[in-house]
Amino acid sequence: MPIVKNVSRAVSQLLQSSGCGCGISIVPVRCIGVSPRQVASDASFHSVSFSESDHPRVLITGGLGQLGVGLAKLLRKRFGKNNVILSDIRKPADHVFHSGPFIYSDILDYKNLREIVVNNRITWLFHYSALLSAVGEANVPLARAVNITGLHNVLDIAAEHNLRLFVPSTIGAFGPTSPRDPTPDLCIQRPRTIYGVSKVHAELMGEYYHYRYGLDFRCLRYPGIISADSQPGGGTTDYAVQIFHDAMKTGKFQCNLKPDTRLPMMYIDDCLKATLEVMEAPAEALSMRTYNISAMSFTPEELAQEVQKHVPELQVTYNVDEVRQAIADSWPMNFDDSNARRDWGWKHDYDLPELVSTMFSFLGSDSRIAQAN
């Protein structure tokens, strides 16, 4: 099976690329084959409801990426430390390991994943394991295996064990023929990256499992996610994280997108809040299974101008990466998230000035930074 060998070889080359602008981590692959299983066609699965004294038991896959650790912290505060299990195939940092339950989980090992769900009485599953846009284009077989085969395992286990399943989608699920300004929830989707194709596949498969088996599938299309506690790695929107690190370390930033490239963005706290809110929303409030969410939309030039209010001497240059630019040019410029705001009350907290101020406050003070009033 040459594809298995290629995938295995690629894993070691890509381990350093986990976590990115869209908040998903890489899960390397041991094998492409999956254990036999079957979801009973005549079974009927329903949402699990929880009282205040009966919290969900949560599993987060791909948990060492940009969003997993922060989500675990939020959910543990709400549901209790021992009710939220973080998982990945990499060794966690000490502070992550000691902050709550952590286990090894390979999403392409169907039997192992099923045992975790059964042994820990999991009721909610957040599936964050995926290869990102630019990284996925560099290794399509690996992206196909992780993003699609892994998803199939998760869908089958979630349906079999009556889980409430969250799978994030992305601005990358749209393509150059989609309306870009704004992009509605329902429109033509013809992405031109394996990452985008796999996310459209996830949206449609989740909706199919909902209507076919009654799976409580919920999905949000994330914009570019910006956070202070993760390093950029593999995402087209990663420039919006890199600029803060470079501003503080060197005072020089080279952007790999054109200065007028407008993309929807969101601070990580808003992203995590939206994820919890949609999972807690009553099933009857949801008019669809996949929602756009947004907070702000800006260009590299607009972000740089806001950053320069804090670091006036920041020097910004542009060296366009044609691969990333082509991807960005096929993505939405603005998300229409009116359905999320209407159905379950989504409301963001951070606009661009608040985002920039918060990023600098978390990254720490520096002699170059002029404190903003």
Catalytic center residues: 195
Per-residue pLDDT reduced to its tens digit, 67-82? 999 999 999 999 999 9
How far apart CA 61 and CA 105 sit, in angstroms, is 7
Q: pLDDT (tens digit, 9 = 90+) per residue, 121-167?
A: 999 999 999 887 778 888 999 999 999 999 999 999 999 999 999 99
Write down the pLDDT at residue 84: 98
What is the tally of helices (H) and strands (E) in the chain? 14, 13
What are the pLDDT digits (tens) for 13-56?
443 333 333 433 333 333 333 333 444 333 333 344 444 448 99
Q: Mean pLDDT over all residues of the chain?
A: 85
Order the strands of the 296-298 sheet from edge to edge: 224-226, 263-267, 296-298
> What's at 45, amino acid-wise?
F
User: What's the pLDDT tens digit per position in 34-45?
Assistant: 333 444 333 333
Per-residue pLDDT of 240-250, as tens digits, reads 999 999 999 99
Asked whether the beta carbons of 209 and 198 are under 8 A apart, the reply is: no
Q: Determine the average pLDDT of the residues in 328-341.
A: 95
pLDDT at 237: 87
- Confidence (pLDDT) at 3: 42
Predicted confidence (pLDDT) at residue 60 exceeds the cutoff of 50:
yes
Please identify which residue in the block is written with the tokens 């963001």. Answer: 348
Q: Alpha-carbon distance 352 to 294, whole Å?
A: 12
Q: Which of 5-9, 118-122, 187-191, 308-312 has the lowest mean pLDDT?
A: 5-9
Confidence of residue 234 (pLDDT cuts 50, 70, 90): low
Does residue 270 surpass a pLDDT of 80?
A: yes
